[in-house]
């Protein structure tokens, strides 16, 4: 099973990807997470990506396409995977098509701009294990302020979740990523999901669509 998760920043792609990964027993390939790891480790790729990420811009297509190409060729991707945050441009979608990958479903999670804005500015991430929380959403807050429920390390705000950068990331999404909705509509694989319902309901709806 190979799934693409589409949707603006902050619609809950990461949260859904983690749950779906367990339910379907397939890996998540999150280009955002891979880039953030590269940034932390100070690798050449991390250095290259840093200024783009901090400014809320997209990292160049060839960098992310290279990441995905390498990842999907590994043994642990044999059963399939969930692409979270890739493709994000038409050119990335074309690169994926040219890799001769048969995508089963493309899930577009839809959320209104005002909700996205609130979610992104409230998002907090654990410095150690990467678990995410949201101080603006009931049921997604940590039990103890600023502390990870799972590993007790400190929660931080992603540097690209500041108000200004969020605004820019949404513009980038509208201009560069949203055209993918039409691109995938034509393939007949697109499913649009209302992302403003409770996360558990969204997961069930996605699973239902996948099984169809
Ligand atoms: P979100 O979906 O909340 O924006 P991600 O973690 O997916 O967060 O991405 C964070 C940043 O990483 C993006 O703003 C962008 O700079 C970079 N990035 C991630 N995936 C891609 C991609 N497919 N193409 C270009 N840049 C990407």
- The pLDDT tens digits for 181-212 are 999 999 999 999 999 998 999 999 999 999 88
In sequence order, which residues have a C-beta less than 8 Å from that of residue 151 and are 6 or more positions away? 126, 128, 129, 131
> Total structural domains in the chain?
1
Mutation probe of ligand 1 site: the residue of 56, 58, 160 with most atoms within 8 A of C-beta = 58
**Residue 10 beta carbon below 6 angstroms from any ligand 1 atom:** yes
Tokens 């590994």 -> residue: 74
- pTM, whole model, 2 decimals? 0.90
CA distance 160 to 167: 10
Residue 148 forms part of a structural domain: no
Query: What was the pLDDT predicted at 104?
Result: 95
Is the pLDDT at 176 greater than 90, yes or no? yes
CATH of the domain at 87: 3.40.50.300
CA distance 40 to 125: 14
Query: What was the pLDDT predicted at 184?
Result: 96
Question: Could you list the residue range(s) of the whole structural domain that residue 63 is in?
Answer: 2-111+190-211
**Residue 58 beta carbon below 6 angstroms from any ligand 1 atom:** yes
Q: Whose CA is nearest to atom 12 of ligand 1?
A: 32
Q: Whose CA is nearest to atom 4 of ligand 1?
A: 9
Encoding tokens for residue 204? 């069930």
The answer to whether 72 and 99 are in contact (CB under 8 A) is: yes
Query: What was the pLDDT predicted at 142?
Result: 97
**Residue 123 beta carbon below 6 angstroms from any ligand 1 atom:** no
pLDDT digits (tens, 9 = 90+) for 39-73: 989 999 999 999 999 999 999 999 999 999 999 99
pLDDT digits (tens, 9 = 90+) for 103-146: 999 999 999 988 888 888 899 999 999 899 999 888 889 999 99
Residue 177 forms part of a structural domain: no
Query: How much is the CA Rg of the chain, to the nearest whole Å?
Result: 16
CA distance 82 to 4: 6
Is the pLDDT at 27 greater than 90, yes or no? yes
What's the 125 CA to ligand 1 centre distance in angstroms?
A: 15
Residue 125 forms part of a structural domain: no
In the sheet that holds 155-156, the strands lie side by side as: 132-134, 123-126, 155-156
Query: What was the pLDDT predicted at 162?
Result: 87
Residue 1: pLDDT band (50, 70, 90) is very high
What's the 147 CA to ligand 1 centre distance in angstroms?
A: 25
Residue 129 forms part of a structural domain: no
CA distance 62 to 152: 37
The pLDDT of 30-40, averaged and rounded, is 93
Residue 179 forms part of a structural domain: no
What's the 205 CA to ligand 1 centre distance in angstroms?
A: 25
């Amino acid at each position: 099973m190979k799934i693409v998760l589409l949707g603006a920043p902050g619609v809950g792609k990461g949260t859904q990807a983690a749950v779906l990964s367990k339910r379907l027993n397939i890996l998540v390939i999150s280009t955002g997470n891979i880039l953030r790891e590269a940034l932390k480790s100070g690798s050449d790729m991390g250095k290259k990506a840093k200024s783009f990420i901090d400014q809320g811009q997209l990292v160049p297509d060839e960098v992310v396409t290279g990441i995905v190409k390498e990842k999907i060729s590994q043994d642990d991707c044999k059963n399939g995977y969930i692409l979270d945050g890739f493709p994000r441009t038409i050119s990335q979608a074309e690169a994926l098509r040219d890799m001769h990958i048969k995508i089963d479903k493309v899930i577009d999670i839809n959320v209104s701009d005002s909700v996205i804005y609130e979610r992104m500015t409230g998002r907090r991430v654990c410095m150690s294990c990467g678990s995410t929380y949201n101080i603006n959403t009931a049921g997604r807050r940590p039990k103890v302020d600023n502390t990870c429920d799972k590993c007790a390390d400190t929660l931080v705000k992603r540097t690209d979740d500041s108000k200004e950068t969020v605004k820019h990331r949404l513009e980038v999404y509208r201009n560069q990523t949203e055209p993918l909705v039409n691109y995938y509509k034509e393939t007949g694989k697109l499913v649009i999901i209302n992302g403003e319902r409770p996360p558990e309901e969204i997961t069930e709806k996605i699973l239902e669509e996948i099984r169809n």
